[in-house]
């Protein structure tokens, strides 16, 4: 099983448009299990028009809820909470203490130490996940409710579903639209991936974030290769990024021009490769060929995977 995760660190580099085009190209070559790991702001479905076959609740973590009937208004919870999640009673409408669910981290300290045992600890319903069909194959995707945390676990859950279903359906490739940033969700996105494709742009933020995600890939020993989108915005920066990749041993998969076809495709809910050929889509096709033909290093941790020789 090969698992390719497309990430960018910075948003707006064209990651999702590129992933959708890869999904199209993969569908003409045996197909792939598709997976949108950007559970915070998923966009892949806007291009793939999924037909939702299954929908599941995602529950994760707990939240504290103060019962006003039994609260003795001692303020212990307020004093102990390290997350400023407990709010004082307001002077005009006296309702006792309350917990702001946006700030509550579900640590249980207030529940444990409340002398009146007035705080419940409830499981949190954080979002929904779906298994769908698209014109390019099966898609696993999700939507977290706004303000929810714990998306790392949802990402892990989606990846597990994608792997199980890929195996069951005889698909040897999993193609993931990764989460943005470098925190928990993207760490979960990369976990166990055979290969990361980093989409960047020749801007200071693009470069800065590329270095951060490349460092993350190195940290987790995932081979990373790079696509420079909108390369013609700044040729000097493009060259610098390529030099950086060379130095760091990341394959540069190719350059893509700044092209309005990306937006035109998006508005029509199509992939760029489904529209008449442009320089952009042609470059993208050859980049995909390069990805497919990359040495399947697959196993990211060769030095650790070797078992100790039997004594």
Partner 1 sequence: MNTGIIAVTSEGPGLESMVDARFGRAAGFVVVDLASMAVSYVDNSGSQTMAQGAGIQAAENCARAGAEVVLSGFVGPKAFQALAAGGIRVIQNVEGMTVGQAVDKFQRGELAVADAPNAPAGGNPGGGGKGEPA
Partner 2 sequence: MIYAIASGKGGTGKTTVTASLAALWDRPVMAVDLDVEEPNLHLFLHPELTGEEPAFMEVPERDPKRCTLCGQCAAFCQYKALSVMGKTLLLFPEMCHGCGGCLLLCPEKALSPGKRELGRIVSGHFRTDHLSSGREEDAGFPDAGFLMGRLRVGEAMSPPLMRQVKARLPQGQSADILIDSPPGVSCPAVNAVMDADVLVLVTEPTPFGLHDFRLAVQAFRSLGKPLGAVINRSDIGGVGIGDASVQDFCRAEGIPVWAQIPYNRAVAEAYSRGEVAASAVPELRAMILALMARMQGAAAASQSASATPGEVQHA
Residues that bind partner 1 (CB under 8 A): 1-3, 60-61, 150, 152-153, 156, 159-160, 163, 174, 187-188, 191-194, 220-221, 296-302, 304-311
* Closest CA relative to residue 224, chosen from 152, 294, 175, 304: 294
Interacting partner of 204 out of partner 1, partner 2, none (Cβ under 5 to 8 A depending on kind): partner 2
Interacting partner of 3 out of partner 2, partner 1, none (Cβ under 5 to 8 A depending on kind): partner 1
Q: Which is nearer to partner 1, 47 or 217 (CB)?
A: 217
Taking the CA atoms of 10, 13, 14 and 19 in sequence, report the sign of the dihedral they define.
negative
DSSP output for 249-299: T-EEEEE----THHHHHHHTT--GGGSSP-HHHHHHHHHHHHHHHS-----
Indicate whether 176 belongs to the interface with partner 2 (CB under 8 A).
no
Q: Which is nearer to partner 2, 27 or 203 (CB)?
A: 203
The residues facing 48 across adjacent strands are none
Q: Please, what is the minimum distance in Å from the beta carbon of residue 305 to partner 1? A: 4
Q: Please, what is the minimum distance in Å from the beta carbon of residue 175 to partner 1? A: 12
Rounded Cα gap, residues 299 and 242, in angstroms:
25
Is the distance from CB of 285 to CB of 308 less than 8 angstroms? no
The residues facing 38 across adjacent strands are none
What would the two tokens of residue 43 be?
């966009």
Q: Please, what is the minimum distance in Å from the beta carbon of residue 88 to partner 2? A: 16
Considering only 56, 59, 135, 208, the residue that binds partner 2 (CB under 8 A) is: 208
Interacting partner of 1 out of partner 2, partner 1, none (Cβ under 5 to 8 A depending on kind): partner 1
Q: Please, what is the minimum distance in Å from the beta carbon of residue 301 to partner 1? A: 6
Residues 230-249 that bind partner 2 (CB under 8 A): 230, 233-234, 237
What would the two tokens of residue 220 be?
């987790």
CA distances from 144 to 57, 129, 185 (A): 10, 8, 12
Interacting partner of 300 out of partner 2, partner 1, none (Cβ under 5 to 8 A depending on kind): partner 1
Q: Please, what is the minimum distance in Å from the beta carbon of residue 2 to partner 1? A: 6
Tally of CB atoms within 10 A around 152: 19
Residues 33-62 that bind partner 2 (CB under 8 A): 40-41, 43, 46, 61-62
Q: Which is nearer to partner 1, 105 or 120 (CB)?
A: 105
Is the distance from CB of 106 to CB of 62 less than 8 angstroms? yes
CA distances from 289 to 21, 22, 62, 102, 282 (A): 12, 10, 45, 45, 11
Interacting partner of 24 out of partner 2, partner 1, none (Cβ under 5 to 8 A depending on kind): none
Q: Please, what is the minimum distance in Å from the beta carbon of residue 311 to partner 1? A: 8
Q: Which is nearer to partner 2, 252 or 262 (CB)?
A: 262
Q: What is the 3-state secondary structure (H, E, C) of 79-140?
A: HHCCCCCEECCCCCCCCCCEECCCCCCCCCHHHHHCCCCCEEEEEEEEEEEEEEEECCEEEE
Tally of CB atoms within 10 A around 269: 13
Residues that bind partner 2 (CB under 8 A): 9-13, 16, 40-41, 43, 46, 61-62, 80, 82-84, 102-103, 105-109, 112-113, 144, 146-149, 151-152, 180-185, 187, 201-205, 208-209, 212, 215-216, 219, 230, 233-234, 237, 258, 260, 263-264, 266-267, 269
């Amino acid at each position: 099983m090969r698992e390719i995760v497309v990430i960018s660190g910075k948003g707006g580099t064209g990651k999702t448009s590129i992933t959708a085009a890869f999904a199209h190209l993969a569908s003409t070559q045996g197909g792939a299990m598709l997976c949108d790991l950007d559970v915070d702001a998923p966009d892949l479905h806007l291009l793939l028009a999924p037909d939702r076959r299954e929908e599941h609740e995602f529950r994760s973590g707990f939240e504290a809820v103060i019962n006003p009937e039994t609260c003795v208004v001692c303020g212990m919870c307020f004093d102990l909470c390290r997350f400023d999640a407990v709010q004082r009673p307001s002077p005009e409408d006296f309702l006792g203490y309350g917990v702001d669910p946006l700030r509550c981290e579900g640590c249980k300290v207030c529940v444990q130490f409340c002398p009146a045992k007035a705080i419940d600890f409830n499981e949190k319903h954080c979002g929904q996940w779906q298994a769908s069909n698209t014109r390019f194959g099966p898609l696993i995707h999700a939507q977290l409710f706004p303000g929810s945390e714990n998306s790392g676990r949802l990402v892990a859950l989606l990846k597990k579903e994608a792997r199980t279903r890929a195996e069951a359906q005889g698909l040897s490739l999993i193609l993931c639209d990764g989460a943005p940033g470098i925190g928990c969700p993207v760490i979960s996105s990369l976990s166990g991936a055979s290969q990361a494709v980093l989409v960047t742009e020749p801007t200071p933020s693009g470069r800065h974030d590329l270095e951060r995600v490349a460092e993350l890939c190195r940290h987790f020993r995932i081979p990373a290769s790079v696509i420079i989108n909108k390369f013609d915005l700044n040729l000097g920066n493009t060259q610098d990024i390529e030099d950086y990749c060379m130095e760091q041993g990341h394959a540069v998969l190719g350059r893509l021009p700044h092209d309005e076809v990306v937006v035109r495709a998006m508005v029509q809910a199509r992939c760029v490769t489904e529209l008449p050929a442009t320089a952009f889509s042609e470059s993208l096709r050859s980049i995909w060929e390069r990805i497919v033909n990359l040495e399947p290093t697959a196993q990211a941790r060769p030095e650790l995977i070797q078992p100790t020789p039997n004594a």
